[in-house]
Amino acid sequence: MAKEIEAAPSVQLSSIAVSETHGENSPYFAGWKAYDENPYNEASNPSGVIQMGLAENQVSFDLLEEYLETHPEASFRGRGATGFRENALFQDYHGLPTFRKAMASFMEEIRGGRAKFDPRRVVLTAGATAANELLTFVLADRGTAWLVPTPYYPGFDRDLRWRTGVNIVPINCDSSNNFQITTPALEAAYELAESMNIRVSGVLITNPSNPLGVTISRSVLEDILDFITRKNIHLVSDEIYSGSVFSSSEFVSVAEVLEAREYKGSERVHIVYSLSKDLGLPGFRVGTIYSYNDEVVTTARRMSSFTLISSQTQHLLACMLSDKKFTKNYIEVNRTRLRKRYERIIEGLRSAGIECLKGNAGLFCWMNLSPLLEKPTKEGELDLWRTMVHELKLNISPGSSCHCSEPGWFRVCFANMSEHTLEVALERIHKYMEQRRT
Amino acid sequence: MSYVSSNRKPLLSRKATNDGHAEKSPYFDGWKAYDKDPFNPTQNPSGVIQMGLAEHQLCFDLVQEWLVSNPEASICTKKGVDKFRDIALFQDYHGLPAFRNAVAKFMGRVRGDKVKFDPDRIVMSGGATGAHEMITFCLADPGDAFLVPTPYYAGFDRDLCWRTEARLLPVVCHSSNNFKVTRKALEEAYAKAVEANISVKGLLLTNPSNPLGTILDRDTLREAMSFINEKNIHLICDEIYAATVFRQPDFISIAEIIEEDQEYNRNLVHIIYSLSKDMGFPGFRVGIVYSYNDAVVECGRKMSSFGLVSSQTQYLIASMLSDDQFIGKFLLESAGRLATRHNDFTDGLCQVGIKCLNGNAGLFLWMDLRGLLMDSTVEAETALWRVIINDVKLNVSPGSSFHCSEPGWFRVCIANMNEETTKVALARIREFVLRNGNKPNRKEKCWQSDLRLRLSFRRIDDVLRSPCIMSPHSPIPQSPLVRTRT
């Protein structure tokens, strides 16, 4: 008679730990796995999967490297003994004053000086990921909701909801008006939440938009501000791609619109920024929250204790971003290079018979493959996506992972590779489209 | 231009408006006094001396020397800039392999290489602050509780409870047995929770202890393991002061205990670590969650996205901690300097009849001022504390802010200043005690100098070979200075 082996009593983890809200089972990440298993390399693996699902900015590193080579004070060696000690000890959640000041002024420069930022309102977090979660903890109770326009960055499902217990109710946008946010769409989303007995805490927009690669117009921003004022809810404007707008005059920040309103109602508005996209430094974990609400600034600052920026990194960036000559040049050159990349990919796709949404910002384009779908459904889109990943060996992101209401759209990143690799990708698309025609 | 306007104020969350940030605690009040009037030997010699901040400032010269000789460890220098791009792009929440390997190795060395740590179980977080919150999010639902022996670090109330909505239940410890964490106290705390219908998810131990400056002995650790296994609850061991042990007895990590018995459920054990105290780098935000539970490692890793260590810092730390020779020298020097500083203070305090709990670790002393209280109450302790801040001009931390059950104890940080400031601080204490000499029993002879073996720091192996001095669990009877109040 076999003796029953007593299994160790199973150990319970939290509900958060066992939920799937971290979102890593989404196709957004499945493509990454395909890439990890067979990554393209110009020399050693030219037929591997090209990573076009990662919104990174790799076009301007030479400018950063040049700065470092000519500015030894950015490292500790240049600052001497007391410099290192003070820096290693500095854990004040107000942040290095020089760094906060440099961030505020950099944000002003990106907006062409059209908005002013007070360094005392800058709260530092380890990346925009942390900033968005933190703002959610501050502005929204568990069980309430953010209204978020679709399509949106897949990471929001985790960042805004996972540990906070807050919901996302979509504001549906579609191609009939180039995915612009309209007041009827805002009202419909609000009513949908109400019908589900969910209290709305605010609206969260991304401007410029990820995944659309388009800036939000001034009149739409005005409409959104009016809407949140009427409902007395918050507005978070995630502006992490603001430095990646191809032409400086085309970006209107919510900060400018508030200034024009003499800051009336501004205590409802909060901006998220980061250096991950504009400067191409995702590894350094540099995020900020800029709030016009004093209470939010105070509380967010206290909460930032869980996610401060390394003082070593604050010091480096304070040096770099305080150098006006450097920042002016960087912003201009970076913008130009991104625009050139964008123009190349649009041209390349067009000559293959593929159209994209007209974009003016970001590290990606929003490609329309709906004419190629076997079925105009999410399944049809995922079938096509699998072809892209496994046959063309291009990891692009399906619109459904961005909660797009229309199937057939894909986000294609172009700034995280060399010009040569971009050509290889375009060549593969050309070949595929040709094969389809025959 | 017309637009909608309204005078109504928008709502903030409950978390934003409650006191979960814990900043109303007296722990932070003293800091405010310091901020307004900070001591400076030349510019403000009568300012408040900061003795409320547990920092390790004694070994920066060693680190600075290492940095100068290793320019390639910084991606900003000419030597290191070729790595800049790859490091700047690296945001993988697994962390730089070199970083994880170096941290695992360092953790082993700090524990005298008695245990090995697996780099794949290392998860990053935003400092130990972030680590504590993260492990709580992994293990506890809102309303669930952790048992914590008192006195405990004031920041735990915020770190483990604020955004997680978990709660802390005290396991009360007493000076009568040097604040030992007894099985009885653990059982009592647990039973109390059960009666109140509170779900206990785990036990949180800090070893070495903040604020006591003592280490847990093997028996206590074994009892704790047996307790959590029996109740099937988690054990979180905060070992962030592991390398600040400067004297025997040797530090024993929970990592050692776990190997002693195959019956222990390893899935219950998690270690919190950081470089803020052992290396003196609080600004770099290097927090670590080390879990023996695969599911916790996986979940924690995903959560670490909210508090990753800057890749620039990971790179520097990986380089520094892999330098075996440097680390060996650092750990030795650090222990020696902490021992000397500890002795300087305890001797100086002893000379004016002030006793501290006998500790061998940490960056602070647990000072016994019960004899100076008007009453044995928190109010009296607070009154004394205000005198110390405003008259003596020392920011020390009152025991009540650490949830100590007995009024009159104070945590005094001693490793965050140079020798000159040490002398000034001691002089002020001396002067204050002598000024208040009309209080009974102030001039008792310092018996400790007779009983305690004097140790001046020589080489660490001499220290280790010396006979063990009075440990907190010594059979030697209590000092006559400890008066029982009727």
Residues in chain A: 438
Residues B284, A158: C-beta atoms closer than 8 Å: no
Q: Tell me if B15 and A138 make a contact (CB, 8 A cut-off).
A: yes
Q: Do B144 and A14 touch (CB under 8 A)?
A: yes
B468-477 burial: b if 16+ Cβ within 10 Å, else e: ebebbeeeee
User: What does the pLDDT average to over A294-301?
Assistant: 96
B142 contacts on A by Cβ (under 8 Å): 142
> Are the beta carbons of B57 and A232 separated by less than 8 Å?
no
B240 flagged as catalytic: yes
Please answer yes or no on whether B12 and A138 come within 8 Å at the CB atom.
yes
Does B433 contact chain A (CB < 8 Å)?
A: no
CA distance B288 to B130: 9
The answer to whether B244 and B361 have CB atoms below 8 angstroms apart is yes
Distance from CA of A130 to the nearest CA of B (A): 5
Contact B155, B177 (CB under 8 A): no
Question: What gap in Å lies between CA A78 and CA B424, rounded to an integer?
Answer: 33
Nearest C-alpha of chain B: how many angstroms from A108? Answer: 24
How confident is the model at residue A25, as a pLDDT?
Answer: 76
Residue A338 has pLDDT above 60, yes or no: yes
Q: Where does B263-387 show beta strands of DSSP type E?
A: 269-274, 286-291, 355-356, 364-368
Residue A363 dihedral angles phi and psi, to the nearest 5°: -110, 20
- Contact between chains at B312 and A316 (C-beta distance less than 8 A): yes
Catalytic residue among A240, A289, A309, A345: A240
Supply the pLDDT for residue B387. Answer: 93
B74 touches chain A (CB under 8 A): yes
Quote the tokens at residue B266: 């390893």
Region A275-286: mean pLDDT is: 96
Catalytic residue among B238, B252, B354, B355: B238
Contact state of A133 with B6 under an 8 Å Cβ cutoff? no
- Structural domains of chain A in order of their starting residue, each with its CATH number: 15-62+327-433 (3.90.1150.10), 74-323 (3.40.640.10)
User: Which among B14, B68, B295 has CB closest to A13?
Assistant: B295
Enclosing H/E stretch for A290: strand A287-291
Q: Is B238 a catalytic site residue?
A: yes
Q: How far is A231 from chain B (nearest CA, A)?
A: 9
Mean pLDDT of chain B: 88
Closest by Cα among A323, A425, A356 to A66: A323
Subunit contact A84:B60, Cβ cutoff 8 A: yes
What is the structure's pLDDT at B7?
Answer: 81
The tens digit of pLDDT for each residue in A254-279 reads: 999 999 999 999 999 999 999 999 99
Q: Quick check: is B217 catalytic?
A: no
| pLDDT surpassing 60 at residue A3 | no
DSSP B485: P
Cα separation, B168 vs B147, in Å, equals: 6
**Cβ of A306 and B130 within 8 Å?**
yes
Q: How far apart are CA A326 and CA A316, in angstroms?
A: 14
d(CA A406, CA A404): 6
**Can you give the pLDDT at residue A31?**
81
Judged against a pLDDT cut of 60, whether residue A174 lies above it is answered with: yes
* pLDDT, tens digit (0-9, with 9 covering 90-100), for A122-157: 999 999 999 999 999 999 999 999 999 999 999 999
Instruction: For residue A78, give the nearest of A94, A91, A67, A92 by alpha carbon.
Output: A67
Strands, E assignment, A172-224: 200-206
Nearest to A290 by CA among A114, A126, A125: A125
Residues B409, B391: Cα–Cα separation, whole Å: 18
Residue B483 CA to residue B408 CA, distance in Å, equals 12
CA-nearest residue of chain A to B82?
A: A65
| Percentage of the residues of chain A whose pLDDT score is greater than 90 | 87
Q: Please tell me which residue in B27, B34, B152, B153 is annotated as part of the active site.
A: B153
Residues in chain B: 486
> Rounded CA gap, B75 and A167, in Å?
41
Residue to substitute from A92, A312, A323, A418, interface B, most B β-carbons within 10 A: A312
Ranges in chain B, pLDDT < 70: 1, 26-27, 437-486
Report the C-alpha gap between A396 and A422 in whole angstroms: 13
Answer yes or no: do B74 and A77 touch at CB < 8 A. yes
Q: Tens digit of pLDDT for each residue in A223-251?
A: 999 999 999 999 999 999 999 999 878 89
pLDDT digits (tens, 9 = 90+) for B431-475: 998 887 644 344 444 433 333 323 332 333 333 333 333 333 333
* CA–CA gap between residue A210 and residue A213 (Å, rounded): 6
| Contact residues, B window 255-284, toward A, CB-based 8 Å cutoff | 265, 267-268, 276, 280-284
Read off the pLDDT band of A10 (50, 70, 90): low
Is the CB of residue B291 less than 8 Å away from at least one CB of chain A?
Answer: no
Q: Which of A28, A277, A346, A354 is catalytic?
A: A277
Are A307 and B5 within 8 A, CB to CB?
Answer: no
A312:B312 CB<8 A: yes
- The residue of chain A with its CA nearest to that of B310 is A284
Q: What is the pLDDT of residue A79?
A: 57
Cβ pairs A/B, distance under 8 A = 254
Residue A128 · residue A273 · CB < 8 Å: yes
B-chain residues near A129 (CB < 8 A): 305-306
- B429 at the A interface (CB within 8 A)? no
Which pLDDT value is given to residue A383? 95
Cβ-defined contact of A89 to B8 (cutoff 8 Å): no
What local confidence, expressed as pLDDT, does residue B446 receive?
Answer: 42
Facing residue for B232 by CB, picked from A9, A130, A276: A9
Nearest C-alpha in B relative to A302:
B21
Mind telling me how many Å the CA of A378 is from chain B's nearest CA?
27
- Give yes or no for B78 touching A (CB within 8 A): yes
Q: Which residues contact A177 (CB under 8 A, 6 or more apart)?
A: none
Show residues of chain A in contact with B12, CB under 8 Å.
138-139, 295-296, 299
